Amino acid sequence: MPEKVAEKVEAYCVKCKAKRIMSEPKEVSMEGKGGVKRRAMKGKCPKCTTTMFRIMGAKK
């Protein structure tokens, strides 16, 4: 499955303890309970380069 790239995604950085715009965001899918697929965005914090993760809504 090809990963989709979004323009600007805001997520919370646990290390910086602040909301930031992700650098290098990519859409990934997660396997949930009962085989339900969920969307998420994965990227890096532009300040400290820690991996950031944001769970998105279900696919329509």
Tell me the pLDDT of the chain (60 aa) as tens digits: 445 555 799 999 999 999 999 999 999 998 888 888 889 999 999 999 999 999 998 766
Note the pLDDT of residue 6.
Answer: 57
Q: E strands within the chain?
A: 10-13, 18-21, 23-31, 37-44, 51-55
Closest residue by Cα to residue 15 from 41, 46, 56: 46
φ/ψ of 38, rounded to 5, equals -120, 150
Q: What is the pTM for the complete model shown?
A: 0.73
